[in-house]
Structure 1
Amino acid sequence: MFHVLRFTGKEAYQFLRDVEKIEQTGILCRIPNWWRKRAMECSVEIRLGEKKPAMVGFDSLISMQPQLCVDGEALTKKDVELLLAQTEGLAFLKGKWVEVNHKKLRELLKRMDGMDTSITLREALQMEIGNGKKISADVGALVTNGAWLSKMLRNLRKPSGIRSAAVPKTVHATLRPYQKDGYTWLNYMQKLGFGACLADDMGLGKTLQVLCYLEKMRKSDKGAKTLLVVPASLIGNWQKEAAKFVPDMTIQVIHGKTSAQLAQEFDAGSAFLTITTYGMVSRIQAFQETMWDCVILDEAQAIKNPGTKQTREIKKLQAQMRIAMTGTPIENDLTNLWSLFDFIDHGLLGTSKEFHEFTKGLEENPQGYAKLKSMITPFMLRRVKTDKTVIADLPEKVEMTDFAQLTRKQTILYRKVVSDMEQKVRQMEAEHSISQFAKKGIVLTAIMKLKQICNHPDQYLGQDAYTPSESGKFQLLKEICETIYEKRERVLVFTQFKEIADDLAAYLETVFHAKGYVLHGGTSVAKRTEIVDAFQGEAYVPFIVLSVKAAGTGLNLTKANHVIHFDRWWNPAVENQATDRAFRIGQKKDVIVHKFVSQGTIEEKIDAMLESKKELAENVIGSGSEKWITELSNEELFSLLRLE
Structure 2
Amino acid sequence: PASFSFWQQLAQIFIADVCKQNSGNEKAKYTFSIPVDEISSWLTQAPFMRGIEYLQLATAESLWHRLAEALEIEIIPFDRNIGAYLSAYHAAWNTVGRVCFHLAENKNNSDHPFAFLATYTTRLSNTANTQHVPLGRALEEYAGSNKKSQLLSLLLPVHRSTEKSHLLKNLVDTGNIFKPQFFSAHEAHHFLKDIPLFEAAGVMIRVPNWWNSKKPPRPSISVSVDKKDTSTVGLDALLNFNLQLALPDGEQLTSQELKNLLNNTDKLVKIKGQWVEIDNDKLNQVLLHWQTIERQVEKNGLSFSEGLRLLAGVSKKEAHDASLEDIAAWSKVTEGPWLKEALERLRHPDITRDNNHITLFKKYLRAKLRPYQERGVQWLWWLYNMHLGGCLADDMGLGKTIQIISLMILIHHKTESTQKKLPHLLVLPASLVGNWQAEINRFAPTLTTFIAHSSSMQKDSNNKPLLSDINLVITTYGMLNRLPWLTETSWDMVILDEAQAIKNPSSKQAQATKLLNNQVRFVLTGTPIENRLLDLWSLFDFIAPGLLGSNRIFANYSKQKAKEEPGNPNKNQFYAAVRQLVSPYILRRLKSDKSIISDLPDKTEMQTYCTLTKQQIGFYQQAVMELSSKLEQQQDGIQRRGLVLSYLMRFKQICNHPNQWLGHGKYEADKSGKFERLKELCEVIAEKQEKVLVFTQFREIIPALCDFMTTIFGQSGLFLHGQTSIKERSKRVDAFQNEEGPPFFVLSLKAGGTGLNLTAASHVIHFDRWWNPAVENQATDRAYRIGQKKNVLVHKFICRGTIEEKIDSLINDKKTLAQEVIGEGSEMVITELSDAELLNVVTLDIHRALGENEALLLEHAL
TM-score (norm 2): 0.66
Shift of 1:357: 3.5
Matching of residue 121 in structure 1 with residue 315 in structure 2: no
* Cα separation, partners in 2 of 1:16 and 1:308, compared to 1, 3 Å: same
Distance (Å, rounded) in 1 between the aligned partners of 2:314 and 2:816: 63
Match of 1:227 among 405, 414, 425: 425
Distance (Å, rounded) in 1 between the aligned partners of 2:336 and 2:411: 31
Residue 435 of structure 2: aligned partner: 237
Secondary structure in structure 1 of the residue aligned to 2:461:
helix
Residue 537 of structure 2: aligned partner: 338
Shift of 1:461: 2.6
* Cα separation, partners in 2 of 1:50 and 1:28, compared to 1, 3 Å: farther
Query: Structure 1 residues 324-333 or 411-420, which shifts more?
Result: 411-420
2:236–2:304 Cα contact (<8 Å) kept:
yes
Match of 2:180 among 13, 19, 27: 27
Distance (Å, rounded) in 2 between the aligned partners of 1:244 and 1:17: 77
Residue 412 of structure 1: aligned partner: 618
Residue 640 of structure 1: aligned partner: 841
Residue 199 of structure 1: aligned partner: 393
Shift of 1:323: 1.2
1:229–1:296 Cα contact (<8 Å) kept:
yes
Query: Structure 1 residues 510-519 or 591-600, which shifts more?
Result: 510-519
Distance (Å, rounded) in 2 between the aligned partners of 1:585 and 1:3: 64
Show the 5 A alignment for 1:427-506: 427-428=632-633, 434-506=635-707
Distance (Å, rounded) in 2 between the aligned partners of 1:422 and 1:461: 20
2:350–2:375 Cα contact (<8 Å) kept:
yes
Match of 2:239 among 62, 73, 91: 62
Shift of 1:234: 1.3
Secondary structure in structure 2 of the residue aligned to 1:227:
strand
Residue 248 of structure 1: aligned partner: 446
Show the 5 A alignment for 1:175-214: 175-214=369-408
Query: Structure 1 residues 471-480 or 312-321, which shifts more?
Result: 312-321
Show the 5 A alignment for 1:230-309: 230-256=428-454, 261=459, 263-264=461-462, 266-268=464-466, 271-309=470-508
Query: Structure 1 residues 455-464 or 45-54, which shifts more?
Result: 45-54
Match of 2:724 among 523, 541, 545: 523
Distance (Å, rounded) in 2 between the aligned partners of 1:229 and 1:262: 21
Distance (Å, rounded) in 2 between the aligned partners of 1:378 and 1:558: 35
Matching of residue 72 in structure 1 with residue 72 in structure 2: no
CA offsets 1:211-250 (integer angstroms, 9 cap, x no match): 1112333344664222212112111111111111112222
Shift of 1:302: 0.9
Residue 315 of structure 2: aligned partner: 131
CA offsets 1:244-286 (integer angstroms, 9 cap, x no match): 1112222222334599926346435653322222122111122
1:493–1:544 Cα contact (<8 Å) kept:
yes
CA offsets 1:177-225 (integer angstroms, 9 cap, x no match): 1111111111111222222111111110111111111233334466422
Distance (Å, rounded) in 1 between the aligned partners of 2:531 and 2:348: 24
CA offsets 1:27-51 (integer angstroms, 9 cap, x no match): 3469854488999875432222277
Distance (Å, rounded) in 1 between the aligned partners of 2:389 and 2:105: 63
Match of 2:761 among 543, 555, 560: 560
Q: Which amino acid aligns with 1:344?
A: I
Match of 2:344 among 145, 154, 164: 154
1:384–1:390 Cα contact (<8 Å) kept:
yes
Matching of residue 593 in structure 1 with residue 791 in structure 2: no
Query: Structure 1 residues 469-478 or 368-377, which shifts more?
Result: 368-377
* Cα separation, partners in 2 of 1:43 and 1:281, compared to 1, 3 Å: closer
Shift of 1:502: 1.6
Residue 594 of structure 2: aligned partner: 388
Distance (Å, rounded) in 1 between the aligned partners of 2:695 and 2:220: 68
Secondary structure in structure 1 of the residue aligned to 2:340:
helix
* Cα separation, partners in 2 of 1:223 and 1:150, compared to 1, 3 Å: closer
Q: Which amino acid aligns with 1:375?
A: L
* Cα separation, partners in 2 of 1:264 and 1:32, compared to 1, 3 Å: closer
Distance (Å, rounded) in 2 between the aligned partners of 1:386 and 1:286: 43
1:218–1:224 Cα contact (<8 Å) kept:
no
RMSD in angstroms over aligned alpha carbons? 3.8
Query: Structure 1 residues 510-519 or 611-620, which shifts more?
Result: 611-620
* Cα separation, partners in 2 of 1:412 and 1:321, compared to 1, 3 Å: same
CA offsets 1:485-525 (integer angstroms, 9 cap, x no match): 11121111101112222222222122222212221112222
Q: Which amino acid aligns with 2:653?
A: Q
Show the 5 A alignment for 1:346-361: 346-359=545-558, 360-361=560-561
Residue 607 of structure 2: aligned partner: 401
* Cα separation, partners in 2 of 1:5 and 1:383, compared to 1, 3 Å: closer
* Cα separation, partners in 2 of 1:171 and 1:126, compared to 1, 3 Å: same
Distance (Å, rounded) in 1 between the aligned partners of 2:795 and 2:211: 66
Shift of 1:62: 1.2
Residue 141 of structure 1: aligned partner: 331
- Give the number of aligned pairs: 628
* Cα separation, partners in 2 of 1:422 and 1:49, compared to 1, 3 Å: same
* Cα separation, partners in 2 of 1:496 and 1:90, compared to 1, 3 Å: closer
TM-score (norm 1): 0.87
1:217–1:224 Cα contact (<8 Å) kept:
no
Residue 621 of structure 1: aligned partner: 822
Matching of residue 310 in structure 1 with residue 509 in structure 2: yes
Query: Structure 1 residues 182-191 or 356-365, which shifts more?
Result: 356-365
Shift of 1:575: 0.8
Secondary structure in structure 2 of the residue aligned to 1:464:
coil
1:129–1:375 Cα contact (<8 Å) kept:
no
Shift of 1:462: 2.5
Q: Which amino acid aligns with 2:737?
A: Q
Distance (Å, rounded) in 1 between the aligned partners of 2:317 and 2:659: 60
Shift of 1:542: 1.9
Query: Structure 1 residues 498-507 or 358-367, which shifts more?
Result: 358-367
Query: Structure 1 residues 33-42 or 261-270, which shifts more?
Result: 33-42
Secondary structure in structure 2 of the residue aligned to 1:373:
helix
Query: Structure 1 residues 177-186 or 451-460, which shifts more?
Result: 451-460
Residue 751 of structure 2: aligned partner: 550
CA offsets 1:74-95 (integer angstroms, 9 cap, x no match): 44879979x99xxxx99996xx
Secondary structure in structure 2 of the residue aligned to 1:73:
coil
Query: Structure 1 residues 120-129 or 251-260, which shifts more?
Result: 251-260
2:674–2:797 Cα contact (<8 Å) kept:
yes
Q: Which amino acid aligns with 1:361?
A: K
Q: Which amino acid aligns with 1:214?
A: M
Shift of 1:6: 7.4
Query: Structure 1 residues 120-129 or 130-139, which shifts more?
Result: 130-139
| Percent identity (aligned) | 43
1:202–1:327 Cα contact (<8 Å) kept:
yes
Distance (Å, rounded) in 1 between the aligned partners of 2:222 and 2:527: 39
